Chain A
């Protein structure tokens, strides 16, 4: 190996070194709540046992169709294999490890999985000005906040789902996991329908205009009301997407009226340096001055609504949601690029979530050491009671997750209380 390369490698912490990962899985990863979350009950059942996990190993190998009988066995294999990250798939009709023993391949099929959504910042590259590609800052994180608000509201109010977990994807996006029984049991057709309901067709790079059916569907109408303040504050003021002359071209292309665009172009050419906020206001001012040929005043309102939607409405990666057997990265694993833990996002405090402040795995391991040195005066007995994750800044996230899972299990046990209670009693009886 040449010298500069070794230098570079050591300057950037390697988040996926087996040592770090082993410690992380051994000491910090919340296997127990994750198991309960996927199992929908306290004792292992097919929901978890026939569930596919896919491991991405540090070498880049991708191993599919892993499954585990219990949370402990799952943890054991993670500690042993130290995957960079792992993904969660559906529950299958039989244990995925036994799939090759079947005489008929068709009887191996996915039967259940959480409904999932994936929002990725790259889909916003055409409208964000602050960063591009893999980069993210607090400005463009607002797009994710907007998307979470709109999707979360629609899922709760329109579809009646209650158990929605939003997870930071570690770098520049967010995932949603919906665990309601009704959502888990949806087939591909229903997932496709639901994704179609939430996705609005956006205009492409070529500037082909989107047109949305009027009157606005109540979901779109409500979303627009949620998004309006963000359009003013975040898009116009912060992103300033039409600042330069070339950028303003994009806005011009979205306005289907020759007189209007000509008048606007003239005004902006004579007064360079107008902000997006001013330009947005100019549209109405110029239109009121009588520069409208084909559009009526009402149509202009619609066009402006379309533009607002274009710049604020969530851009979902719909393919992820459409298929029952699509795998998605698990919560709480480490993003190999940033080292950040994919922590759940508490939607009650959505606006204060800081993606750049999410702890990295190396920082967390350090925090454990620091805790050890700080709490020297505690007795060993007391120390043993404190679990490693409680010593770190991962604590609030794990606690939120545990609370969320508890709510889900409570709901699950309602339906089959009698059976479940017997099972729990049996379990308690076995504990010493």
Chain B
């Protein structure tokens, strides 16, 4: 998925042609924009050409990281837990190697980090809400990375920053020693090293009386430097975002970027997860029309609900059918089996009517019929959580969409209870998530509760890479993971026996 490897293919005609004067400006500026440190305050926007694919892919990767970070926060993970959880996620999507590594990718990684930051800055500057959320998450990411940085490189990075602080000299230390120690609460194991800055730069330290003040200068212990850098980063980012918001309407743009930016900003509801073939269980076992009832225990609430409605009414309305058909396609149900499934499910409908009104839609979803593009693309891709969360809410009689969003909280709790989710603390958590519109977090919460045991086993024994246990963002991902956790240790050992397969 790394677009870095694909050759840039910018049409020569579309390449930004700059006049001579600007060209010069760009080159000089760009040469200054090397990446001497792993960390970056992103003061200067990128000026190099990149392909549209890179533009989008890098941004999506960063978005994924930010979403995971937010999920950590929603689940009240501590700083240490978050760091542990985020490490594999960062390595997968937004790896940044230290200077000490011999990797040839260092420059590319840093460029990707730099560009994706600025892309998202553009995408999330439109509304105050998005800006606030983005700057909060970026500041967290920055803090996390600073924490994970090697001590010597962190020091070099901090010292390279144009911050207005100066080191407290030995002479000053001697004169004010006891006051410095008392004011900054120096412990015995800490180095006797302070710096001074204007007190306005460290208001929270002043408020807690954790620095020494002399004529408007704050004497601060070096351990506070990291916090100051993070605060400064957040402050600059907020300013930058406001600036971006003002310039956004005037962007010199030829309709290539704005759809991407719009899509990215949408992704903040729940990050968009592309459907991958890997979500099917086709390589482990072959699902059939008859096995769906048994498999439905692994379905996420949205699909379980559709399945139940279908069994109850022997019918589903159009959008419910579409959502469910694509999901079934996603788990690896073949077209033939899928047709059989729907035919059997619509018990009260005559063959003629089924053929006339329903068959075509099913085949269309699989890409068997329809326009050239549809057939080449093998039909539609299964809907992601984001799609389900952003499409119009169902009208009366319709049952598609994400129940966490479409059901009133009380009804949602009843629905969950009817599926056997009864743990009170869990339901309370779901209610809170839903109240804060974190629908996918609620769904993940239910998932994690249902699979507590196996998840712990997988974690403890490190059976799966940690990135396989990140936040679920796709109904098919939910199914696959649920299925795999139930059948732990059985994959690879031949055909997995499926419950309900011998109807």
Residues on A lying within 8 angstroms of B by beta carbon are 157-161, 182, 186, 189-190, 192-194, 196-197, 213, 215-221
Contacts and interface: CB of A to CB of B under 8 A. Distances in A.
A89 B216 CA distance: 25
A157 B185 contact: no
Given A213-B185, A215-B182, A218-B182, A160 B215 contact: yes
A219 B213 CA distance: 8
B413 interface: no
Given A213-B185, A218-B179, A193 B206 contact: yes
Contacts of B215: 157-160
A160 B182 contact: no
A366 B179 CA distance: 55
A189 B181 contact: no
A157 B214 contact: yes
Interface in B186-216: 199-200, 203-204, 206-209, 212-216
A193 B179 contact: no
Nearest to A189: B203
Given A192-B207, A196-B206, A218-B179, A158 B185 contact: no
13 contacts: A157-B215, A160-B214, A160-B216, A192-B203, A193-B204, A193-B207, A194-B207, A196-B206, A196-B208, A197-B206, A213-B185, A213-B209, A219-B213
Given A193-B207, A196-B207, A217-B209, A186 B216 contact: no
A221 B176 CA distance: 14
A159 B216 CA distance: 4
Contact of B206 (A194, A218, A220): A194
B183 interface: yes
B182 A197 contact: no
Nearest to B209: A217
Nearest to A214: B182
Given A186-B200, A192-B207, 18 more contacts: A157-B213, A157-B215, A158-B214, A158-B215, A160-B214, A182-B216, A190-B200, A193-B206, A194-B207, A196-B206, A196-B208, A197-B209, A213-B185, A216-B182, A217-B182, A217-B183, A217-B209, A218-B182
A182 B206 CA distance: 16
A194 B181 CA distance: 21
Contacts of B214: 157-158, 160
Given A197-B207, A197-B209, A159 B199 contact: yes
A159 B204 contact: no
A196 B212 CA distance: 14
Nearest to A186: B200
B213 A215 contact: no
Contacts of B216: 158-161, 182
A118 B375 CA distance: 77
B213 A159 contact: yes
A160 to B, nearest CB: 3
A260 to B, nearest CB: 27
Contacts of B213: 157-159, 197, 219
Which of A196, A197, A221 is packed against the most chain B CB atoms within 10 Å?
A197
Contact of B182 (A189, A190, A221): A221
B203 A219 contact: no
Interface of B: 179, 181-183, 185, 199-200, 203-204, 206-209, 212-217
Q: Which 9 A-B pairs have the closest CB atoms?
A: A160-B216, A196-B207, A193-B203, A160-B215, A158-B213, A193-B207, A215-B182, A218-B179, A217-B209
A141 B185 CA distance: 35
A197 B183 CA distance: 12
B203 A190 contact: yes
Contacts of A189: 203
A contact face: mostly helix, strand, loop, or mixed: helix
Contacts of B206: 193-194, 196-197
A66 B451 CA distance: 66
Contacts of B182: 215-218, 221
Nearest to B203: A193
Contacts of B217: 160
A62 B459 CA distance: 66
A190 B206 CA distance: 9
Nearest to A216: B182
B209 A219 contact: yes
A159 B207 CA distance: 13
Contacts of B185: 213, 215
Contacts of A216: 182
Contacts of A192: 203, 207
B214 to A, nearest CB: 7
A220 B185 CA distance: 14
Nearest to B184: A217
A217 B199 CA distance: 16
Which one of A160, A217, A221 has the highest number of Cβ atoms from chain B below 10 Å of its Cβ? A217
A215 B212 CA distance: 13
B216 to A, nearest CB: 3
Contacts of B212: 218
A168 B384 CA distance: 68
A159 B209 CA distance: 13
Contacts of A215: 181-182, 185
A160 B217 CA distance: 8
Candidate in B179, B181, B206 with the most chain A CB atoms within 10 angstroms: B206
A392 B199 CA distance: 44
Contacts of B208: 196
A190 B110 CA distance: 35
A156 to B, nearest CB: 8
Nearest to B213: A158
Contacts of A160: 214-217
Contacts of A157: 213-215
Nearest to B201: A190
B183 A218 contact: yes
A192 B203 CA distance: 8
A182 B216 CA distance: 10
Contacts of A220: 209
Nearest to B200: A190
Nearest to A200: B209
A330 B362 CA distance: 79
A219 B216 CA distance: 13
A221 B179 CA distance: 10
A395 to B, nearest CB: 35
A159 B206 CA distance: 10
A324 to B, nearest CB: 14
B175 to A, nearest CB: 13
A217 to B, nearest CB: 4
Interface centre among A186, A193, A196 (most CB of B within 10 A): A193
Contacts of A190: 200, 203
B481 to A, nearest CB: 44
B168 to A, nearest CB: 15
A261 to B, nearest CB: 30
Nearest to A199: B207
B328 to A, nearest CB: 51
A189 B231 CA distance: 13
Nearest to A180: B216
Contacts of A159: 199, 213, 215-216
Contacts of A217: 182-183, 209
A160 B196 CA distance: 15
Contacts of B209: 196-197, 213, 217, 219-220
Contacts of B200: 182, 186, 190
Nearest to A158: B213
A310 B181 CA distance: 25
Contacts of A193: 203-204, 206-207
A197 B216 CA distance: 13
Contacts of B203: 189-190, 192-193
A225 B183 CA distance: 16
Nearest to B208: A196
B246 to A, nearest CB: 13
Nearest to B212: A218
Contacts of A213: 185, 209
A190 B216 CA distance: 12
A220 B200 CA distance: 20
